[in-house]
Structure 1
């Protein structure tokens, strides 16, 4: 009897000791999960940017906020993520604003394309976003101009991008004219005005089209992505740089109601993760591109050539013409463009004065082979 009583007492004490733990576990809130989708296939390095962001959000919030990362097409078609985010079909997306030029040409200004918007590099553009009023204009663009429940942050510096791949050498603007080339968005409009015949097609169709002779040239991304796509296996001549995406920047979009429902700590974690992702992914990507260029040359015999300057100048002049025409008929485009030009007019001349040309030390330590 005493033994039974003692066991009962011990069991009761053990249960009492466990009770607070069990109650505490029951009180722990379930992590909140944001369902998001990108416009990229899962295999692209651009999707790695999205994955890194999700990892950082989870770590910064101690697992209380998670991002479900989906690739293009897993929930909605890739070019429907903006509307899907606004309608809360998904909580957010990962893409680039120039995909939405069909809604308004002002969209391209929020991807820092083309021409780096009057020459701004990545840091200049981030400066305009965070120090020059650009972020509020971006949110106004989605919410007031397009009437969408969306906010955005800059996250993906997938640039500079090469001019492209060509089946034959190009030495002048005349060589460039008449070629049938894969281009997209507002860049295609610019190249059309420059005399190129452009074709819009998904990345997966570029190599088969090149092999069949349907196109003479193509722009994809450059570096690691061009190598993975197989472009060095179909064309030999690779020209760089290009001004079409000299400093393009992709976006993270979030439904504005979802954003407002997050607590301040979760909002700050997202802001921090966005900035960290921008920098950490970018430095890794630069190394990946350097390795890819080396492989193109040594394994595939790719000729990496300088873009003729007259092509780059013609591109800038054509873009200036389009921007002026759009400013004349689109007040919001003009407002954003004028804001960007005013910021650039302060920063770019100062940087040109303070910063040595990148090629100065590069040519001293690593002379180009003749």
Structure 2
């Protein structure tokens, strides 16, 4: 009996060792497996700021993974048009996309809350809401039905009010203008008598120069100078009430993400988080120099939007945002979270950020004129 028991024990030990060996081999094989992904974007290839962010993301992921995960980046129109990025990732044509969520308002209207809300939260506040206020969880919940996950992948900071081919002295001067402005800001301008035209960034200059549109907003001085918009319009207005920031998104095909080993999933998440900060840092560093070039070297007329334009825009914005919130239960859920967080952060920033700005610059914004 003792010998039989010993034989059984040895056999069982060998079986367990075999299973452990097989498991070890499987894990090693998975760790050595390589993945080649495609990333489609809504931006011109290697465009400063928003276009270079995806390139840096791809390089960072390849370096961190020691080449086990490589990402080929495609600019708008190279693999799919800029406005078809979401579909390409959802359908698996590409594993990864970089864009802005307000482009998908036809599919998921509430997605606009995650890109830019007129007179809403800035980049610092949006990042806080998304990462620590439940916003990112809601964003992923919204995208669940499309088979994509989302991570925050950059921010523009406060944008400019736009380029115009005519002087804007009052809200009446907006009536009948054709303007490129996406998202909720575009809906607000539509209610102010502006004919809104949507187009990818790569089409803006030609449309403005040819007269197909009378005005446009893009991002800010750094990108506007790169596009040469000063060659197509004379007047450059601020502030960018319509986009106190645009939050850029990395959208990931769920099945592709699930196929990655856990360490590559973590590498991807960490790399996207790094790029999220890096894109905003770059815009903050580059915009002022670009603005000085536009004004001092190219003679651009920098103007503040008239008070009545801002007042009417704010009034219409409240209506547009409220109507979007009421459009579905999910939209209301997102808006309630957004609004509650904004109320809290505005209260705190009144005695922190805003109070500091006022103390640093007692003359307000007159120094910009």
**TM-score, length of structure 1 as denominator length:** 0.84
1:139 matched residue in structure 2: 140
Task: Identify which range, 324-333 or 91-100, moves more after superposition.
Answer: 324-333
Asked if 1:224 is matched to 2:228, the reply is no
Tell whether the 8 Å contact from 1:115 to 1:247 is kept in structure 2 after alignment.
Answer: no
| Residues 160 and 247, structure 1, Cα contact 8 Å, conserved in 2 | yes
> What residue number does 2:151 align with?
153
Say which SS state the counterpart of residue 40 (structure 2) adopts: strand
- Alignment partner for residue 296 of structure 1, among 290, 294, 297? 294
Q: Structure 1: how far apart are the matches of 2:137 and 2:368?
A: 46
From the superposition, tell whether residues 60 and 319 of structure 1 become closer, same or farther in structure 2 (CA, over 3 Å).
same
Find 1:332's aligned residue among 325, 330, 352: 330
What do the CA deviations read for 1:98-118 (whole angstroms, capped 9, x no partner)? 00001122010121x1226xx
Match of 2:242 in 1: 244
Q: Pick the aligned partner of 2:160 from 138, 159, 162.
A: 162
Aligned to 1:196: 194
- For 2:251 and 2:192, how far apart are their aligned partners in 1? 33
Structure 1 residues 69 and 84: CA distance shift in structure 2, 3 A:
same
Give the structure 1 partner of residue 340 of structure 2: 342
Contact 1:92–1:255 (8 Å) recurs in 2: yes
- Secondary structure of residue in 1 paired with 2:32: coil
Shift of residue 363, structure 1, vs aligned partner? 5.9
Point out where structure 1 has 5 or more consecutive residues left out of the alignment: 1-25
Q: Answer yes or no: is the 8 Å Cα contact 2:40–2:85 preserved in 1.
A: yes
State the alpha-carbon separation in 2 of the partners of residues 77 and 202 from structure 1: 9
What are the Cα deviations for residues 242-263 of structure 1, in whole angstroms up to 9, with x where unaligned? 2111111010000112222222
Q: Can you list the C-alpha shifts for 1:196-224, whole angstroms capped at 9, x where unaligned?
A: 22233343443333333343222122212
1:120 aligns with 2:115: no
Closer/same/farther in 2, CA of residues 235 and 87 from structure 1, 3 Å limit: closer
Aligned to 2:73: 69
Q: 1:97–1:108: 8 Å Cα contact kept in structure 2?
A: yes
Q: In the alignment, which residue of structure 1 is the partner of 2:357?
A: 358
C-alpha distance in 1 between matches for 2:78 and 2:189 = 33
How far apart are 1:364 and its partner, in Å? 7.7
What's the counterpart of residue 265 of structure 1? 263
Q: In 2 relative to 1, CA 89–313 (structure 1 residues): closer, same or farther, beyond 3 Å?
A: same
Do the aligned partners of residues 193 and 108 (structure 1) sit closer, same or farther apart at CA in structure 2, a change above 3 Å counting? same
**Is the 2:123–2:158 contact (alpha carbons within 8 Å) kept by the matching residues of 1?**
no
Moved more, 295-304 or 177-186: 177-186
Residue 17 of structure 2 is matched in structure 1 by none
Q: Aligned partners of 1:215 and 1:347: how far apart in 2?
A: 37
Counterpart in the other structure of 1:96: 100
Question: Paired residue for 1:10?
Answer: none
Q: In structure 1, what is the equivalent of residue 3 of structure 2? A: none
Work out the CA distance in 2 between the residues paired with 1:79 and 1:35: 16
Shift of 1:30: 4.6
Task: Identify unmatched segments of 5+ residues in structure 2.
Answer: 1-27
After superposition, the C-alpha distances for 1:318-352 in whole angstroms (9 at most, x for unaligned) are 12212222333311101100011111122221121
Counterpart position of 1:309: 307
**Counterparts of 2:96 and 2:123, CA distance in 1:** 23
- Distance 1:57-1:362 versus aligned 2 partners, 3 A rule: farther
Deviation at 1:365, TM superposition (A): 12
Which TM-score applies when normalising by structure 2?
A: 0.85
- The question of 1:37 aligning with 2:40 is answered yes
